[in-house]
Amino acid sequence: MLRYVLYRMAAVIPVLVGVSVAVFVMVRLVPGDPVQIMFANQAMPTPERIAELRHEMGLDLPIWEQYLKYLWGILHGDFGESFRSRQPVFEEIITRLPNTLRLTFASLIVAIVIGVTAGVISAVYKGKWIDKVSMLTAIIGISIPGFWLGLMIMLLFAVRLGWFPVSGASTWRHLVMPAFTLGLLSSAVIARLTRASMLDALNQDYVRTARAKGLREYRVVLRHALRNAMVPVVTIVGLQIGGLLSGAFIIESVFAYPGIGSLAVTALQARDFPMIQGIVLFVAAVYVIVNLVADLAYGFLDPRIQYS
């Protein structure tokens, strides 16, 4: 297993390099000059001052030289300095990181609880009304835009009922609505996959053997079928973590939640190249690491899986 882990970790390097190149090029293709956007609500400085600022930011260098300078900084732990705040990018990301991690893991718990429960119930009661309602709800959940669902939840629970605050992140009550919004969207995908995987597991010989031994149905479903059905579900859960991180970009803006997502939106609006590059690279690294952990979890769920 150690050899497998080292191989996967080595494979992370070209992935992150490719991501850094892609985001570095794409952000510079977006229309708008960062220096001019900095003074959008102020008197525009002289052309000499603009040229001086572009030199300070390194924007007057050829793009290949800018990238090599950026890559050299990353190798030394320097993600650059934000154009907007003039603060180190890494420090700003670390400051916002705890809020985003809380939102992501809270959303993941909501998604797993709702998705796995709905999927198992739908598989056990295949063809019954509860199965049809669960899958119809899952299809609706996949189709609904996240920002619209967030606004509807805010309108109901914050504006009409007044149960939760509209924005902020100072207490657990600020986390409920954005976490439920993100988790509900992801639970639809998990529910559909869990149902399909459970239906396949319930038709296996070991499940029929367990039933023939006289085991109670809940033990057959939870102990025998569900454990083996969770292997593909773990894969999709790992992918959903990346989806939750990217989905947080929109949801955090809807709920004015001070995390990495809202920081990324602000950076995009300001054409803050170093901040955008740092956030995308950070999210890509988390995404790759989570998928590695998901791969290693297969062996614990199914002893038949061997790593080489």
pLDDT one-digit tens code per residue, 167-193: 777 778 888 888 888 888 888 888 888
Is 84 within the bounds of a domain?
no
**Whether 290 and 153 share a structural domain:** yes
Q: What is the pLDDT of residues 182-230, one digit of tens each?
A: 888 888 888 888 888 888 877 777 777 777 777 777 677 766 677 777 7
Sequence length of the chain is 308
Is 17 within the bounds of a domain?
yes
**Whether 278 and 158 share a structural domain:** yes
Q: How many domains does the chain have?
A: 2
Which residues, including other chains, have CB under 8 Å from residue 97's CB and lie 6 or more apart?
Answer: 259, 260
Q: What is the pLDDT of residues 123-178, one digit of tens each?
A: 888 878 887 888 888 777 777 777 788 888 888 888 888 888 877 777 788 888 88
C-alpha closest to that of 71 among 288, 283, 267, 278: 278
Helix axes 226-254, 146-153, angle to 10 degrees: 70
Which residues, including other chains, have CB under 8 Å from residue 12's CB and lie 6 or more apart?
Answer: 285, 288, 289, 292
**Whether 36 and 162 share a structural domain:** no
**Whether 289 and 160 share a structural domain:** yes
The domain containing residue 279 runs over which residues? 96-301
**Whether 49 and 128 share a structural domain:** no
> What is the rounded distance in angstroms from the CA atom of residue 265 to the CA atom of residue 268?
5
Q: Model pTM?
A: 0.72
End-to-end CA distance of the chain: 6
Please provide the DSSP assignment of 233-278 as one string.
Answer: HHHHHHHHHHHHHHHHHHHHHHTT--SHHHHHHHHHHTT-HHHHHH
pLDDT for 308 beyond 60: no
Is 85 within the bounds of a domain?
no
Structure tokens that stand for 126 in this block: 């295949």
**Whether 110 and 251 share a structural domain:** yes
Give the end of a domain, one of 23, 43, 75.
75
- CATH code of 124's domain: 1.10.3720.10
Residue type, 266: T
**Whether 51 and 196 share a structural domain:** no
**Whether 273 and 124 share a structural domain:** yes
